[in-house]
Amino acid sequence: MSMMVIMHEAATDEQVAHVCARVEEIGAGAHLSAGGRVKVIGVIGDREAITQLPLEAMPGVDRVVAILRPYKLVSREFQQRDTVIDVRGARIGGGHFALIAGPCSIETPEQVLAAAKAVKAAGGHMMRGGAFKPRTSPYAFQGLGEDGLAMMAAAGAETGLPIVTEVVDPRDLDVVCRYADVLQVGARNTQNFLLLAELGKAGKPVLLKRGPATTIEELLMAAEYIVKEGNRDVILCERGIRTFETATRNTLDVSAVPVIKIASHLPVVVDPSHSAGRLDLVLPLSLAGVAAGADGVLVETHPNPEHALCDGPQSLPTAVFGEYAERVLDLARWTGKTV
Amino acid sequence: MSMMVIMHEAATDEQVAHVCARVEEIGAGAHLSAGGRVKVIGVIGDREAITQLPLEAMPGVDRVVAILRPYKLVSREFQQRDTVIDVRGARIGGGHFALIAGPCSIETPEQVLAAAKAVKAAGGHMMRGGAFKPRTSPYAFQGLGEDGLAMMAAAGAETGLPIVTEVVDPRDLDVVCRYADVLQVGARNTQNFLLLAELGKAGKPVLLKRGPATTIEELLMAAEYIVKEGNRDVILCERGIRTFETATRNTLDVSAVPVIKIASHLPVVVDPSHSAGRLDLVLPLSLAGVAAGADGVLVETHPNPEHALCDGPQSLPTAVFGEYAERVLDLARWTGKTV
Amino acid sequence: MSMMVIMHEAATDEQVAHVCARVEEIGAGAHLSAGGRVKVIGVIGDREAITQLPLEAMPGVDRVVAILRPYKLVSREFQQRDTVIDVRGARIGGGHFALIAGPCSIETPEQVLAAAKAVKAAGGHMMRGGAFKPRTSPYAFQGLGEDGLAMMAAAGAETGLPIVTEVVDPRDLDVVCRYADVLQVGARNTQNFLLLAELGKAGKPVLLKRGPATTIEELLMAAEYIVKEGNRDVILCERGIRTFETATRNTLDVSAVPVIKIASHLPVVVDPSHSAGRLDLVLPLSLAGVAAGADGVLVETHPNPEHALCDGPQSLPTAVFGEYAERVLDLARWTGKTV
Amino acid sequence: MSMMVIMHEAATDEQVAHVCARVEEIGAGAHLSAGGRVKVIGVIGDREAITQLPLEAMPGVDRVVAILRPYKLVSREFQQRDTVIDVRGARIGGGHFALIAGPCSIETPEQVLAAAKAVKAAGGHMMRGGAFKPRTSPYAFQGLGEDGLAMMAAAGAETGLPIVTEVVDPRDLDVVCRYADVLQVGARNTQNFLLLAELGKAGKPVLLKRGPATTIEELLMAAEYIVKEGNRDVILCERGIRTFETATRNTLDVSAVPVIKIASHLPVVVDPSHSAGRLDLVLPLSLAGVAAGADGVLVETHPNPEHALCDGPQSLPTAVFGEYAERVLDLARWTGKTV
């Protein structure tokens, strides 16, 4: 059964018959359950076809309850075992843990190399950094573009760390693919469906961030857009949702980690830096995410946060990154992960 | 004064001096106020330069409070009088009210023409309709593309109604501009900054929807991206925000209408269809928006909602559109608007 | 049908049989619908008995969907016609509109009388004022208690206005009842169920505010607590919910007005003062509420807001109350209400 | 400095002088900073007196920014070292961890004893259980009252576990105090200030739950109500906040744990049962809370959740409680706590 159509108490027999007829018209089955004062019509058949029917617009219909989840390829029902993604030797998912770290934005070759070395030395698995930066203000630093990518690639080559970086414009996809190992979708593009569809054909793993007002179900639907085009290597990222609380920039929805692990076979990471927007919360939130079962952490580190062009206030100084990483990796081991 | 830096109670004199020095380094002024246990540093100077300084990352800093609004060109301070936008004779803003209506998605020439005629007959000012549809599910109808635009343009030509339609991909901008009079930015693209920047150069008015988790300040910043590129014709649209309430699809933030009118000179419309997702709320929410001071309403109407490929449940049947429009336009007149 | 139990795809026949057996054990009926991969069990019978069953805790159960609304006495299904409440001649509901105004807190006999006279002169129907104030800070003014009630009663007697005032402690109920005509439940007590139950026996109309995180369904359940004890005179009040938006203190959920009018026969008022927390939004939000179908407005007015002990920033000065009331009452007439 | 008053750009010198005069009238100091286009007035002096001034209602004032936190006694500034609470030998706070577990509601002597024994055997430190139950529906089970308390006390005596139970009505305080060791304030009473004030005089430790729409600052203000009356033994409890996400009943705001630990000296526990409302999330959310630094966990366990009268779906069966406790206590040790 795909859906249940709950009729109003006052719905007439004609209205019930009309809904059933419309359902059967598209080749699906309608199964009427009547009991007490309320009639319910179960709809059986191809979910995609049924979704097209505007059942709620039909006279006498009170509401429609989806029985099946609206996503398919990313679900545990479709694939029981965990997806394991191998990024040039760094593995994530299925018991493999990845610590992904680096500066918010790439600024200079020295800065990115210093960060990469600190990440490598601390046992990190991949490096992150932004060359194309979507910024709330048109007056803020917008990133170095391809120059930044080249700096990051050089640092990646020197340290052996795979590179995670954001794509914001489908027209940049080719150039980003020349340098990056993992293509990141930022929180403002979680539902930029045309970008997702192109990433589905890009042939590189994708790290898909949850938007601040995206439900977990919508995040899984967004991942479905990518997987549907043939790219099964999608890492999901919880980075905080918008709530009424103002003590933190966003509210890390740590429950999303186990909820996603139960519903889907894809790996999940947490981003404590953007969630909190406060340096003093980065370690506790990282540990919370790992304890809840995350397959990795995506975190900002910078050799000199006080001179960072972006997100300085929440970036770990590279000088303390080793200590940070030790706690995070030790807890990942405690949860049974291979680090 | 652009910002105030509030120091921790325990901040040392050295830390205070360091913050002041960093501020002065970029050519801004630092003004220390000490009183009671807390020291506060007022920062005076060019806001954009100051924004680049990661003040919160400096030792001893508790928090930073912005004094000036982060937007400029869209603010009432910058331009006192209301912006009036003229779309092929239909005016909106500065006391002019516009009723903009049409189907969620363009399906057939007959459907769009029937809708356009109903809108025109009821006294509507522009028609809306989607040819490129961003959909939560990859399995849902994605729109007719250029064919849809052509159908809409034909209906617009026949009825004399200007056309409002969404652009989702910057690569489609040229083709959409060939047919459309107003370029709509959907709620999932409110912070797609590269799209906004290109719309700033497109030479057509833009209708910018607020995202479900976008604050009013962020919406105004998004509009600033467009205006900064030279396009001053931006209509803002409140279409509901995400909250805990589930009786409605989104919560129409009707307060946004007067808040924006106070803060900005740009016209504001409400979209009652997407806010509520329920047909029985479309009229009351339209009236609420108009009473709160909206310069227009953007609403869905369809000749046959029960067969709509998109948003059927919340579309007004064209058969009742005349009655609906009469109430809305009458109330707009009551508020003193020219309709 | 009261509920539908949706089983996991992998649920065994034994698990299905066990759920059915448990349902039948309490005298309810279980009706199995199987179709496609999912089994659904419809539960038919006494809703209150069924609610006690922890169906979601039973093995094999995925989720439980309530079909019937959880409230009864306050629903439109239970009573089709609007409830009209008569408060010493002032009527509200069923087409009767009431403007209820006064200061946040009662401070002096002069202050409350000045406010009452302004309300009366402007055509207001009842006066409001607080004698027992629940305040977020233990250091804020907590109200005058019975002295305040006496001042308000004197002003009510002089102007002929019925009195609306808050009860915060069930132990104060007797004393408040000696002075008040309508007993208000504040937004922090919406789900103070023992207070609600006592108000159900108090023999006076109740004005029940929605809490900032209370859903509309929960508000109706809270009203059910009162009505269930025999008190059918309940006025519901929308006063803003908590969301991520910070431009307003709360977000006036104007959709709640029509949603409640559809679901329930009880009158609904809006409180624009607490929603916005800003004086410049009080008129537009009042008009929005009235246009959406509210049966009244509850608003703060004070002879000298700048010296108010509570909520000064959002209180209308009595000097402008006449103008304000004229617009509100005129719009109420436009909507077809008797004022 | 307690507050900063930011004036409108267009504020006149008279308006500025008026604000300063009003501030000085109450014995506080006003310190004007002018720079660029904006004037800011720093207010120095007794915070409680200043809070009474309706500064935002004064002409020319744009907004008021609080510099000092509005709470005092519960702050780290007031008391640097962690508060340690000793409940008949069970300690919490300052490095001591407490696992508090038991059924949602007390049903029978057998049920509560079975739960208590399971908690004790697993190394738990206190038992919880409800005798007075605030329920959303007036038709739901409302608790056994004093009979339930007596059953719980008997089980506590037999196992040696201190008892945590909720008070909902100040009139029940005496009877609850006769049986309970820790008085719980439920999430619907977080801002029931009169109840808080009475608990401040009750002479027993209080476990104060955060309401679903209470900010962290408001929670600390609520605790201040209790501490101000002389009761310094307050345990704070994060139990999930209301957000747009529907996959969980509430969203566990795990960030609240470190935020509170930084701002206050009071111990903090997490309640994973009410946050999630789902059994399969209880362990991961418990671990997340502990990893983030919580001083304890408050969790529901029941010998037979499928027959529970309340919260069955989220209660751990006592049969698996041992395993659960082992993981939680082991992680608490990993964080450096004494268990």
For residue D138, pLDDT over 80 is answered with no
Where, residue-wise, is CATH 3.20.20.70 in chain D? 85-334
Dihedral pair phi/psi, residue A270, rounded to 5°: -115, 150
The Cα-based distances of D235 to B287, C295, D84 in angstroms read 48, 44, 10
User: Residue B127 to residues B115, B155, B157: CA-CA distances in angstroms?
Assistant: 8, 9, 11
CA distance B258 to C89: 35
CB contact under 8 A, C281 and B259: yes
- Calpha distance B40→B52 (Å, rounded): 19
For chain A, the three-class secondary structure string (H helix, E strand, C coil) is CCEEEEECCCCCHHHHHHHHHHHHHCCCEEEEEEECCEEEEEEECCHHHHHHCCHHHCCCEEEEEECCCCCCCCECCCCCCCCCEEECCEEEECCECEEEEECCECCCHHHHHHHHHHHHHCCCCEEECECCCCCCCCCCCCCCCHHHHHHHHHHHHHHCCCEEEECCCHHHHHHHHHHCCEEEECCCCCCCHHHHHHHCCCCCCEEEECCCCCCHHHHHHHHHHHHHCCCCCEEEEECCECCCCCCCCCECECCHHHHHHHHECCCEEECHHHHHCCHHHHHHHHHHHHHCCCCEEEEEEECCHHHCCCCHHHCEEHHHHHHHHHHHHHHHHHCCCEC
The CA-CA-CA angle for residues C233, C237, C238, to 5°, reads 155
- Strand B296-302 vs strand B316-317: parallel, antiparallel, or unpaired? parallel
Using a CB-CB cut-off of 8 Å, the residues of chain D touching A331 are: 291, 334
Q: Is 90 exceeded by the pLDDT of residue D27?
A: no
What is the distance between the alpha carbons of residues D257 and D238, in angstroms, rounded to a whole number?
Answer: 7
Q: Is D140 on the interface with B (CB under 8 A)?
A: no
Contact D230, D201 (CB under 8 A): yes
Q: Cβ contacts (< 8 Å) between C42 and chain A: which residues?
A: 33, 35, 40
Chain D contact present for A12, CB below 8 A: no
CB contact under 8 A, A216 and D334: no
Quick one: average pLDDT of B275-283?
89
pLDDT tens, position by position, C155-196 = 999 999 999 999 988 888 999 999 999 999 999 999 998 899
Neighbouring C-beta atoms of residue D62, cutoff 10 Å: 17
In this complex, do D54 and C307 lie within 8 Å of one another by their Cβ atoms? Answer: yes
D152-185 pLDDT per residue, tens: 999 999 999 999 999 988 888 999 999 999 999 9
Least confident of A32-41, A92-101, C3-12, C119-128: A32-41
Distance of CA D220 to the CA centre of its chain: 8
pLDDT band for position D36 (50/70/90)?
low
Please state, in angstroms and rounded to a whole number, the distance separating the CA atoms of residues A106 and C178.
Answer: 71
Sheet containing C3-7, strands listed edge to edge, beginning at the edge strand earlier in sequence? C29-35, C38-44, C3-7, C61-66
Structure-block tokens of residue A33: 């359950």
Q: In angstroms, what separates the C-alpha of B129 from chain D's closest C-alpha?
A: 28
Do the chains contact at B331 and C291, CB–CB below 8 Å? Answer: yes
- Cβ–Cβ pairs < 8 A, chains A and B: 118
Say yes or no for a CB contact (<8 Å) between A138 and B221: yes
CA distance linking residue B61 with residue B11, whole number of Å: 7
Subunits close to A (at least 3 CB pairs below 8 A) = B, C, D
- How high is the pLDDT of residue A199? 96
CA–CA separation, A124 and A120 (whole Å):
5
Chain C segment 199-218 residues within 8 A of B by beta carbon are 213, 215-217
Contact between residue A146 and residue A165 where contact means Cβ atoms under 8 Å apart: no
Cβ distance of A40 and C4 shorter than 8 Å: yes
Ranges for all domains in chain C classified under CATH 3.30.70.1140 = 2-66
Tell me, rounded to whole angstroms, the distance of Cα D279 from its chain centroid: 22
At B214 the pLDDT is 96
Among D35, D44, D77, the residue with its CB nearest the CB of B42 is: D35
Per the rule left: phi > 0, alpha: psi between -120 and 50, beta: everything else, B102 is left
CB C285 within 8 A of CB B258: yes
Does the beta-carbon distance from C35 to A1 stay under 8 Å? yes
For the purposes of burial, counting CB atoms within 10 Å of the CB of C154, is it exposed (0-12), middle (13-18) or buried (19 or more)? middle
Alpha-carbon torsion, ordered B51, B52, B53, B57, to 10 deg: 100
B259 interaction partners in chain C (CB closer than 8 Å)? 247-248, 281
> Helix axis angle, B282-291 relative to C282-291, nearest 10°?
150
Of A224, A231, A235, A226, nearest in space to A268 by CA: A235
Assess whether pLDDT exceeds 70 at residue C35. Answer: no
pLDDT category of residue D35 using cuts at 50, 70 and 90: low
How many C-beta atoms lie closer than 10 Å to residue B102's C-beta?
32
Which chain D residues are within 8 Å of A254, Cβ to Cβ?
A: 252, 254, 285, 288
Which of C63, C193, C228 is the best residue to mutate to test the D interface, defined by the most D CB atoms within 10 Å of its own CB? C193
Instruction: Locate the chain D residue with the closest alpha carbon to B249.
Output: D244
Tokens of B127: 């028609």
Q: How would CATH label the architecture of B2-66?
A: 2-Layer Sandwich (3.30)
CA distance D256 to A281: 10
pLDDT tens digits for chain A (339 residues)? 678 898 888 899 999 999 999 999 888 888 888 766 778 888 888 777 787 788 888 888 888 888 878 889 999 989 999 999 999 999 999 999 999 999 999 999 999 999 999 999 999 999 999 988 777 677 777 788 899 999 999 999 999 999 999 998 888 899 999 999 999 999 999 999 889 999 999 999 999 999 999 999 999 999 999 999 999 999 999 999 999 999 999 999 999 999 999 999 999 999 999 888 889 999 999 999 999 999 999 999 999 888 887 777 788 999 999 999 999 999 999 999 999
Average pLDDT over residues C299-310: 86
The most confident of the ranges C306-310, D9-13, D62-66, D199-203 is D199-203
pLDDT in tens, C207-242: 999 999 999 999 999 999 999 999 999 999 999 999
Give this complex's ipTM: 0.94
Residue found by looking up tokens 């399906």 in the block: B107
D190 touches chain B (CB under 8 A): no
Q: Which residues, in sequence order, are CB contacts of B300 under 8 Å at separation 6+?
A: B101, B102, B103, B104, B128, B273, B311, B314, B315, B316
Please report the pLDDT score of residue D157 as a whole number. Answer: 96
Between CA B101 and CA B125 the distance in angstroms is 8
User: Residue B243: which of C241, C246, C291 has the nearest Cβ?
Assistant: C241
Residues with Cβ within 8 Å of A119's Cβ and at least 6 positions away in sequence, in order, are A99, A101, A102, A127, A159, A161, A301, A321
CA distance A327 to D335: 10
User: pLDDT (tens digit, 9 = 90+) per residue, A106-123?
Assistant: 999 999 999 999 999 999
| Residues paired with C31 in a beta bridge | C42
A23 touches chain B (CB under 8 A): no
Contact state of C35 with A31 under an 8 Å Cβ cutoff? yes
CB contact under 8 A, D254 and A252: yes
CA distances to A176, A290, A328, C205 from D331, rounded to whole Å, are 41, 12, 13, 54
The string of pLDDT tens digits covering residues B21-79 is 999 988 888 888 876 677 888 888 877 778 778 888 888 898 888 887 888 999 998 99
Q: How far is Cα D211 from Cα D192, in angstroms, rounded to an integer? A: 11
The closest alpha carbon to D244, from A221, B245, A191, belongs to B245
A contact test, residue of B68, B137, B301 with most A CBs within 10 A:
B137
Task: Say if the Cβ atoms of B38 and D68 lie within 8 Å.
Answer: yes
Under CATH, what is the fold of the domain A85-334?
TIM Barrel (3.20.20)
Nearest Cα of chain B lies from the Cα of D262 at a distance, in angstroms, of 12
- Does residue B73 sit in helix, strand or coil? coil
What are the distances in angstroms from CA A41 to CA A23, A48, A63, A70, C330?
A: 10, 18, 11, 19, 46
Q: Which of D39, D36, D47 is nearest to D20 (CA)?
A: D39
Print the SS3 string covering C261-319: HHHECCCEEECHHHHHCCHHHHHHHHHHHHHCCCCEEEEEEECCHHHCCCCHHHCEEHH
d(CA A70, CA A51): 9
pLDDT at B140 over 90: no
Q: Residue C308 — very low, low, confident or very high, per pLDDT cuts 50/70/90?
A: confident
DSSP B213: T
pLDDT in tens, B305-320: 888 877 777 889 999 9
pLDDT at A1: 66
Average pLDDT, chain B: 92
Choice between C199 and B312, residue whose per-residue pLDDT is larger: C199
Q: Cα–Cα distance between A104 and A102 in angstroms, integer?
A: 7
C80 touches chain A (CB under 8 A): no
**Would you say B185 and B134 are in contact if contact means Cβ atoms under 8 Å apart?**
no
Inform me whether the pLDDT recorded for B172 exceeds 80.
yes
- pLDDT on residue B260: 98
Residues from chain C contacting residue A242 (CB–CB below 8 Å):
244
Smallest Cα–Cα separation from B114: which of B281, B307, B276, B270? Answer: B307
Judge whether residue B264 has pLDDT over 90: yes
- Greater confidence (A134 vs B289) lies with B289
Q: Which residues contact D138 (CB under 8 A, 6 or more apart)?
A: C193, C197, C221, C224, C225, C228
Chain C contact present for B243, CB below 8 A: yes
Beta strands in chain C (DSSP E): 3-7, 29-35, 38-44, 61-66, 85-87, 90-92, 98-102, 126-128, 163-166, 182-185, 206-209, 234-238, 268-270, 296-302, 316-317
